[in-house]
Amino acid sequence: MKVPPREAVEANVLRLARPAAILDMPLIFTASEEEGQKGTLLPSLQQILPAAYASRIDRHEIIDSLADPAVAEALSATGQRQLITAGISTEVCGIPPALHAQRDDYQVAFVADAYGSLTELGHAISLRRLEREGITLTTTAMVIAELTDDYPITPRSCGPTPAPTPMTPTGDHRPTGCC
């Protein structure tokens, strides 16, 4: 992976994991190549989110993670309709499940700097396609800012509930993270 550099993509995935852990967001970790290679997912995720890491789903080479019944069931079990996606490969691991989730009426936020491609063109065209399809494109910093600004880390003691943004839930519903 070259665009953004793999190290930057991995760092952004870890940056997203930290507020997800603090906010106790429902998360689904999945990989398409884990069989016989336990630990293909970023090992640092295990330290930040041990339960989500331990229950990660091996898709057995299924590219579209939501085409795997175990992943689709795990997502449905969260009861959430908002999905924040992050991963490694823009064109292969990112596009198919984002489009699938949107077809299934999820509000999808695609964290563009938490995905990468072998080419700048591949990454750019992928993002343009998602945008054309109506999927929200965002960045790690934007997600963290929106989650920490609008999301109640501690129960609210007073004041009105802020208006939801494309990244924040309404009421007590929490968006689901998936990578």
Most confident of 30-34, 43-47, 74-78: 74-78
What pLDDT is recorded for position 60?
83
Q: Answer yes or no: are the C-beta atoms of 104 and 66 closer than 8 Å.
A: yes
Q: Which residue has the higher pLDDT, 26 or 31?
A: 26
Residue in this structure with the two tokens 């640092």, named with its chain if needed: 44
Identify the active-site residue in 93, 158, 178, 179: 93
**90 — pLDDT class (breaks 50, 70, 90):** very high
Give alpha helix (H) positions in the chain.
6-22, 43-48, 50-54, 69-78, 95-103, 120-132, 140-150
**176 — pLDDT class (breaks 50, 70, 90):** low
* Nearest C-alpha neighbor of 175 from the set 99, 86, 60, 94: 86
Q: Is the pTM of this model over 0.85?
A: no
179 classed as catalytic: no
